[in-house]
Every structure is written in C-alpha cells, then in structure tokens.
C-alpha cells in the first residue's frame, strides 16, 4: 500500500512539475524547436492582438468570439508543452535516481608497475593497500589503475586486470543478485557506482571523466540531451510541409472569399480570426504536439529496461529489424548441460546405473554433476550418503583424463567423456560394446552429450546430458516470426548438435562452429540483401560483428571492446533482452504511425465543420455540407478548435504509454492501424465536435 501511495505521490509531483514546465516553454526559443506548434504559437499571439484591438473598436469579429479563439489557441500550445514536459519529467526522475548512485568516493590509485608486482606477492591485497595513494574518484582519468577492496564502491568504469570478486550491481541494474567479475575472459568489465562485496580487484579505468556509462545514461534519459532520430526528423519535415500547404490553402481561401464578396457586392464575411482557426485545425497540430513526447517516452521505456542506447538511430533501427542473431548459450539455452536420462547397456539395470552415476557426482559441484544427483533422486529416490565416514576417495576431473569419480567401498566408479572412459576401461581389459557405441552415437546425433559411467572397469551405461532450452523461448521465436523477424542461433557447437537444439528451440536458422569471421560475414551478407540485423554479444571476439550490426547490444559485464563496438549496452547483461529491445523499437514506431494516422484522419470532420461555416454566407448551397447541423458559424469554428486542443490532452497517456504491442505481420498491423486509428480518427471528431457545439449553445457561449 505504501509503494502504491508513493507512486501516486510521484505521479502528482511529476504532473505539477510538468504544468510549470508547460508555461516555461512558452518562450519563443522553446517554441521554435517545433515548427508546427510554432505556427499555433504565432496564431495565438495574432488572435490575442486582434482581441486587444477589438477592445478599442478595431475588430473583424465580436470581442468575445476572438477572445475565445485566442484562449483555446493558448491552451493548445500549453497542452503540447505539457505533454513534452511530462515525458521529460519521467526522464529527469530516472536521471535523479541514477545521480544518487554517482558520487565522489576515495579511490586507491596504483601505478602499472605496482599492479604487476603485487600479483606475485604472497598477500597481494595487503601489498596493494599499503602501496596505493588515496585520491578522489573525480580525479581519475582513462588508463589510471586503482585497487578496490570488499565494501568499497568502484570509483569509475574499468576493466579488471588482477583479481576476482563478487560485485553488487543493484545500484545500476536493480538486480539484487551479486555477480562475479574477474580478470581475463568476458566478465572483466565493471561499472562505476557498483560495490565490491567480497575479495578485491585491481582495475584499469577505461573512460575519461564525465564520460562513464552512468554519465551517458543520465544524459540519455534527460530529454534535453535527446537527439531526434532520422525517422522522427523525416516525419517532422512532412508535418512542416503539410503546415506550409495548409497555410497556402488558408490564404487562398481568404482570397477566394474576398473575390466572391466583391462579386456579390457585399463585405467579406470571412474574418482573419476564423481563418486563423481554420489554419490551426487543418494543420497537423495533434501529432505535431505529441511527436516529441512519443520519442522521449520511447527512450524512457528503453532506459527503464536498463538499456543504454548510444544513439537514437539504434532505437529506431530496432523497430525495423528483420534478422535477429542470438547466442545459443545463456540466451536460447540455460547455459549449463543437464542430465535428462540414464541409458543402461549390456543388461545393467537403470537404477544400478543411476546409483553409480550419483556416487560419482556427489562431490562434483558443476551444474552437470548436481543435475545427475537430482535426476537419480527424482527417478529412484536415491539420496546422498555420508561418504566421508565410509572412507571415500574423490577423484577430481582433470583436462588430461577428462574423467572424475570416486573410490568407494572397494569399488572404482568413473564418469566422463565417451572416448576417455572407453580408453580407461579397455586399458584394464574391459570392453566397449556395440550397444554402448550405438547409444553414444544416437545421443550425439540428437545434439546431446553422452557421459559414460563405469564401475570396476566395466561400462554400466550412459548419462544423457543436454542443453536445456529456456522455457517460453520457442513461443517468443514464434511471436517474432509472426512479425516477419527471422531468428538465427549462433553457436560454436558442431552442425549436428546445433541443428538439434535449433529444432527444439524453434529458431529459423543457425550458424554452427561460429568464428568472429563467420559472424561478420553472415551479417554483411544479410545486410547486402537489404535486411536490418540485430545481434547481441559480450566478448572481444564479438566486437567485429557488433560493430557491423544495425542494432548491436553489448553486455555491460562484457569486455570494453564489445561495449565500444555496440550501439546499445544492456546494464543487466541479459542476452534475451535483445528480444525486448526489438519490441520497444517496434512499439515506438507503431505509436508514432498510429497517432499520425489518427491526426491526419481528424481533418475530415473539421472540413465539414469549418468550411460551411466560413463560406455559407457567400454560398448558401454549402449548407448541405453542415451534416452535423452545428448551431452557427461561430459555434462551428469554436467547437472545432476546442476539439483540436482537447484531443491533445486525451492522447497524452497513449503517447507516453505507447500503442499496445501486437505481434502480427506488417500487413495485418497496417489494416488494424487504418481501422482503429484511421476510421476512429474520422468518426470521433464528428461526435466530439457536435457534443462541444451542444455544450457551448447550452451555456450561451456561442
């Protein structure tokens, strides 16, 4: 309940801040950033001047009518400012929470020679602590070397060069589970603002002051730093072009009206105030007012997903992606092989095989070993035994023997790779039967890993280990396929294993025995065919392919080379996030397209409201177009312009939240868009304008 009330309080605070921000944006410099709304702003100023003149008897309409038009135009500008300020407020709230994690701390600075020398000391941590110099983290620059102990906050983004430690990254990612960071490999990158929980690290700073990932994240979520994307710029240019066209149309209508009045030998009934109202209603003010808010909200959704986009172009490219390349391990599969079946051979009972396999795995702390213990317990109720009191001797796994096991109660039990166990058994005079060979080959063809179990130099059977495909991943790929996105699994496995896992996971294609060169070549080939390619990676060997991909998501836990090559960084280091990024990108494009369709469709009702009202005095035949039977020309014009202002407010929640994401093909999406936002955009204004007209007449306002 407390969290709900806090959320409501935060929302109210953001709304109040947005109201003040809406008035602050009335400055001409702010309005000039949006050409469409600038014309509304100028129109509001013009009608205000006309109202003031009307008070002195210089007017083309009644003062009350001009005042009403001026007020509505100012409200239209304020509503547009409010939408943008509200979207910016959300970004600033995120930035404030990130700034809380960014503070100057004391850093223990080393020089390179001390870092290298300390790694050879008997107690490296004590040596580093003794030799380090205390400096402020704000003084650290790129390539500086620092020592971080348990309990210390990591002072800057860096690469671990000595040591391994458990790190709490919840301040950045929101994930409470600690992660291991160590020198070498693909888990060597650390982020400033995170905290070391255990052990110690020596790291080299990889970012200049003010350019850390946290600094970039803050600047990205603050709307003031958001750059418009190419698609948004193109749409803005289209809206400006339409605005110019409608400005010329309005001027032409005034000339046409004046000509008609001269022919009829009467005063021109079309006033400047009415023409201004016509222009504002016909110009694409709805989408013009919401365009910036849509873009800011889209970036905000990406940032809430803990993804740092290095460029706005990448966000839009995510919406256009039609090829998705994903690593197998950790993305499609759980990342660890699991025991799924005991296959006995040569007349051995399955329970006997399970018992021996469990005994050989009780001291095996690998995920594979633990899964064998669990499977034996689930299948036959076999539980762990007190091996220490039974004189058990553990035989650890080595790269040379490729086996492990136990000597227990007078028996030698071993488990390991098929060829290793075969050599071990045959060296003692045992046999490797045809039945065993067939089982091993069958499991290998299915994409699994056969693990042989032997007792007293006789093979009992095979443990079937397999990469476990993540739950729900197949449904995810099916949804992407409906959207026209092809999924490709990248793996270092042999083609046979890769094919089996690809079939189980439901991916469209796979790249087996992948190398940095083959990944890069595959991306280039797809791009040459006109596809937009997205890829995720975390290692130095992924950097060339990430640099080539249109949407390249690097893991924050990965190497600096991968992060520099990508155009997005996933702060959670979750490879499946790529699927969510594509959905966010598509939702951004869907929202922009839907509201643009709605905005343009709105104009039809305004034609029927304003055109007859303007020219019915000159051409009575136009009364037939007054299908809404609006009370008077003034009421028709005022109703249309009030609707034009209010619809912006009504659409603000949709612009900020985004159009509901639908995983369908482009053709179905277009049909749905035209039906809901096209047809809806035509029908709604007729109903709303008529309702406003009735209210205005009822209260004597028109």
Residue 286's nearest CA partner among 35, 596, 621 is 596
Average pLDDT of span 360-368: 80
DSSP assignment of 528-548 equals HTT--EEEEE-SGGGHHHHHH
Task: Quote the pLDDT of residue 1.
Answer: 42
CATH, range 321-330+470-494+504-571: 3.40.50.1000
What pLDDT is attached to residue 312?
65
- Residue 538: other Cβ atoms inside 10 A: 27
Selected from 3.40.50.300, 1.20.1300.10, 2.70.150.10, 3.30.43.10, the CATH number assigned to the domain covering 106-154+157-206 reads 2.70.150.10
> Across-strand partners of 464?
341, 450
- Rounded to 10 deg, the angle between the 230-263 and 35-55 helix axes is 40
Integer angstrom CA distances of residue 399 from 40, 361, 407, 417, 420: 74, 17, 20, 11, 11
Asked if residues 154 and 192 have their Cβ atoms less than 8 Å apart, the reply is yes
Binning pLDDT at 50, 70 and 90, where does residue 212 land? Answer: low
pLDDT of residue 526: 92
Alpha-carbon 91 to chain mean position: 15
| Letter string b/e over residues 676-691, b meaning 16 or more CB atoms within 10 A of that residue's CB | ebbebbbebbbebbbe
If we measure between CA atoms, which residue out of 157, 152, 161, 153 comes closest to residue 142? 157
What is the rounded CA–CA span in Å between residue 561 and residue 571? 16
Over residues 85-111, the pLDDT tens digits come to: 887 776 666 566 656 655 677 888 988
The mean pLDDT value for 143-172 works out to 84
What is the rounded CA–CA span in Å between residue 273 and residue 267? 16
Lowest-confidence range among 112-121, 127-136, 278-287?
112-121
Task: Note the pLDDT of residue 175.
Answer: 52
Q: What is the mean pLDDT of residues 549-564?
A: 78
Q: How far apart are CA 587 and CA 591, in angstroms?
A: 6
Q: Is the pLDDT of residue 183 over 50?
A: yes
pLDDT at 529: 92
Task: Name the pLDDT band for 11 (thresholds 50, 70, 90).
Answer: low
Distance, CA of 206 to CA of 544 (rounded, Å): 19
Which of 17-31, 259-273, 551-565 has the weakest average pLDDT?
A: 259-273
Give Dmax over CA atoms of the chain in angstroms.
Answer: 122
Strand partners, 330: none
Give the number of C-alpha atoms closer than 13 A to the C-alpha of residue 550, restricted to the C-beta side. 27
Token digits of residue 695: 């209210």
| Percentage of residues in the chain having pLDDT higher than 90 | 21
pLDDT of residue 351 exceeding 80, the answer is: yes
Q: Does residue 6 register a pLDDT over 50?
A: no
Residue whose token pair is 């007190």: 386
With tokens 């039609």, the residue in question is: 322
Least confident of 77-91, 268-282, 378-392, 533-547: 378-392
Query: Which two three-digit tokens encode residue 183?
Result: 């020198």
Q: What is the DSSP string of 188-207?
A: -EE-TT-EEEEEEEEEEE-S
Domain with CATH 3.40.50.1000 in the chain: 321-330+470-494+504-571
Separation between Cα atoms, residue 30 and residue 454, nearest integer Å: 78
Where residue 361 falls among pLDDT bands split at 50, 70, 90?
Answer: confident
| Residue 604 structure tokens | 């039809």
Answer for the pair 584, 661: CB distance below 8 angstroms, yes or no.
no
pLDDT at 342: 94
Least confident of 36-45, 53-62, 319-328, 405-414: 53-62
Nearest to 252 by CA among 234, 226, 279, 227: 279
CB neighbour burial string for 283-317, b if at least 16 within 10 angstroms, e if fewer: bbbbbbbbbbbbbbbbbbbbbebbbbbbebbbbbb
- The CA-CA-CA angle for residues 72, 75, 81, to 5°, reads 150
Which of the 8 DSSP states describes residue 25? T
pLDDT in tens, 166-176: 888 766 655 55
CA distances from 165 to 90, 196, 218, 629 (A): 35, 7, 27, 76
pLDDT value at position 439? 93
| Nearest one of 384, 380, 395, 367 to 341, comparing CA atoms | 380
Sheet holding 458-469, edge to edge: 333-344, 458-469, 449-455, 411-417, 403-408, 393-395
Specify the CATH number for 334-468; select among 3.40.1110.10, 1.10.3720.10, 2.40.50.100, 3.40.640.10.
Answer: 3.40.1110.10
Q: What is the distance between the alpha carbons of residues 375 and 377, in angstroms, rounded to a whole number?
A: 5
What is the C-alpha separation between 246 and 644, in angstroms, rounded?
15
Residues 6+ positions from 564 with CB-CB distance below 8 Å: 543
Q: How many residues appear in the chain?
A: 702
Angle at 340 between CA 339 and CA 343, to 5 degrees: 95
pLDDT of the residue at 313: 73
Beta strand pairing call for 403-408 and 568-570:
unpaired
Question: What's the sign of the alpha-carbon dihedral 49, 50, 52, 53?
Answer: positive
Residues identified as active-site:
327
- Per-residue pLDDT averaged across 537-554, rounded? 82
Q: Which of 449, 453, 483, 457 is nearest to 579 (CA)?
A: 483
Is 320 or 119 the better-scoring residue by pLDDT?
320
Instruction: Say if residues 116 and 161 touch (Cβ distance below 8 Å).
Output: no
Q: Which position has the higher pLDDT, 57 or 527?
A: 527
Q: Is 381 or 178 the better-scoring residue by pLDDT?
A: 381
* pLDDT at 413 (0 to 100): 92
Give the pLDDT band of residue 268 (cuts 50, 70, 90). low
Q: Which residues pair with 323 in a beta bridge?
A: 486, 533
Question: Are 344 and 460 contacting, i.e. CB atoms less than 8 angstroms apart?
Answer: yes
Q: In the predicted model, is pLDDT for residue 587 greater than 90? A: no
What mean pLDDT is predicted for residues 125-138? 86
Residue with the larger pLDDT of the pair 257 and 55: 55
Positions at the binding site for ATP: 364, 368, 397-404, 415
Arithmetic mean of pLDDT over the chain: 82
- Res 455: pLDDT: 93
Determine contact, residues 683/604, Cβ cutoff 8 Å. Answer: no
For the record, the structure tokens of 350 come out as: 């399955």
pLDDT of residue 495: 83
State whether residue 686 is helix, strand or coil.
helix
pTM as predicted: 0.65
Q: Which residue would you say has higher pLDDT here, 285 or 402?
A: 285
The per-residue b/e assignment along 326-365, b for 16 or more CB within 10 angstroms, e otherwise, is bbbebbbbeeebbbeebbbbeebeeebbbbbbbbbbbbbe
Lowest pLDDT segment from 57-61, 356-360, 544-548: 57-61
Q: What are phi and psi of 466, to 5 degrees?
A: -140, 150
- In this prediction, residue 545 carries a pLDDT of 85
Confidence of residue 8 (pLDDT cuts 50, 70, 90): low
Q: What pLDDT is stored for residue 198 in this prediction?
A: 82
Burial of 88 (0-12, 13-18, 19+ CB in 10 A): buried
pLDDT band for position 3 (cuts 50, 70, 90): very low
- The answer to whether residues 260 and 269 touch, using CB atoms and an 8 Å cutoff, is no
β-pairing, 106-110 vs 449-455, is: unpaired
Q: Which residues are annotated as a binding site for Mg(2+)?
A: 538, 542
Mean pLDDT within 184-200: 80
pLDDT at 349 over 90: yes
pLDDT reported for residue 389: 54
**Looking at the predicted structure, is the pLDDT value of residue 252 above 90?**
no
What average pLDDT score do residues 235-245 get? 86
3-state secondary structure of 3: helix
Tell me, what's the pLDDT at 296? 77
């Amino acid at each position: 309940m407390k969290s709900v009330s806090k959320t409501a309080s935060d929302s109210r605070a953001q709304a109040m801040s947005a109201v003040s921000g809406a008035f602050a944006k009335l400055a001409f410099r702010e309005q000039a950033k949006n050409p469409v709304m600038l014309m509304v702003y100028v129109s509001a100023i013009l009608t205000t001047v006309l109202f003031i003149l009307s008070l002195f008897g210089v007017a083309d309409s009644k003062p009350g009518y001009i005042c009403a038009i001026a007020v509505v135009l100012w409200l239209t500008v304020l509503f547009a400012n409010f939408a943008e300020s509200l979207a910016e407020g959300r970004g600033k709230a995120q930035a404030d929470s990130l700034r809380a994690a960014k503070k100057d701390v004391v850093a223990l600075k080393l020089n390179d020679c001390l870092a290298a020398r300390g790694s050879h000391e008997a107690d490296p941590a004590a040596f580093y602590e003794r030799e380090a110099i205390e400096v402020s983290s704000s003084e650290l620059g790129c390539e500086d070397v620092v020592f971080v102990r348990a309990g210390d906050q990591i002072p800057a983004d860096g690469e671990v060069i000595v040591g391994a430690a458990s790190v709490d990254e919840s301040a950045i990612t929101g994930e409470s589970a600690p992660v291991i960071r160590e020198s070498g490999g693909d888990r060597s990158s650390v982020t400033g603002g995170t905290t070391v929980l255990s052990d110690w690290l020596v790291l080299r700073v990889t970012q200049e002051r003010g350019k850390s990932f946290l600094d970039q994240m803050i600047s990205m979520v603050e709307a003031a730093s958001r750059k418009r994307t190419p698609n948004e710029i193109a749409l803005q240019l289209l809206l400006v072009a339409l605005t110019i066209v409608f400005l010329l149309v309005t001027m032409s209508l005034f000339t046409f009206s004046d000509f008609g009045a001269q022919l009829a030998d009467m005063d021109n009934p079309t006033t400047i105030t009415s023409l201004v109202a016509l222009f504002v209603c016909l110009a694409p003010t709805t989408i013009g007012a919401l365009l910036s808010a849509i873009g800011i909200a889209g970036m905000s959704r990406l940032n809430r997903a803990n993804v740092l986009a290095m460029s706005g172009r990448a966000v839009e490219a995510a919406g256009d992606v039609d090829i998705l390349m994903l690593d197998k391990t950790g993305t499609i599969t759980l990342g660890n092989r699991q025991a799924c079946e005991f296959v006995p051979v040569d007349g051995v009972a399955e329970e006997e095989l399970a018992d021996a396999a469990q005994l050989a795995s009780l001291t095996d702390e690998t995920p594979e070993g633990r899964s064998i213990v669990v499977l034996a317990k689930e299948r036959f109720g076999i539980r762990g035994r007190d091996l220490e009191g039974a004189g058990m001797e553990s035989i650890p796994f080595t790269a040379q023997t490729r086996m492990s096991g136990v000597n227990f109660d007078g028996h030698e039990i071993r488990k390991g790779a098929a060829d290793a166990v075969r050599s071990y058994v045959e060296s003692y005079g045992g046999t490797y039967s045809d039945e065993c060979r067939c089982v091993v080959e069958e499991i290998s063809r299915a994409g699994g890993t056969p693990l042989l179990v032997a007792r007293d130099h006789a093979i009992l059977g095979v443990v079937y280990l397999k990469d476990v495909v993540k739950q729900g991943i197949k449904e995810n790929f099916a949804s992407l396929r409906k959207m026209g996105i092809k999924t490709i699994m990248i793996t270092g496995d042999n083609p046979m294993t890769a094919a089996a896992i690809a079939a189980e996971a439901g991916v469209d294609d796979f790249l087996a025995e992948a190398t940095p060169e083959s990944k890069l070549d595959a991306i280039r080939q797809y791009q040459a065919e006109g596809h937009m390619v997205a890829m995720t990676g975390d290692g130095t060997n992924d950097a060339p392919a990430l640099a080539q991909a249109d949407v390249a998501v690097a893991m924050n836990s990965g190497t600096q080379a991968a992060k520099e090559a990508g155009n997005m960084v996933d702060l959670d280091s979750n490879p499946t996030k790529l699927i969510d990024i594509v959905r966010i990108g598509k939702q951004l494009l869907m929202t922009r397209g839907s509201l643009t369709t709605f905005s343009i469709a709105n104009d039809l009702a305004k034609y029927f409201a304003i055109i007859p009202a303007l020219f019915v005095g000159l051409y009575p035949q136009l009364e037939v177009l007054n299908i809404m039977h609006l009370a008077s020309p003034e009421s028709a014009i005022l109703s249309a312009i009030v609707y034009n202002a209010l619809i912006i407010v009504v659409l603000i929640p949709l612009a900020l939240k985004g159009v509901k994401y639908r995983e369908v093909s482009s053709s179905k999406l277009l049909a749905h868009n035209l039906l809901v936002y096209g047809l809806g955009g035509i029908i709604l204004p007729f109903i709303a304008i008529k309702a406003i007209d009735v209210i205005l007449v009822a209260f004597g306002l028109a």
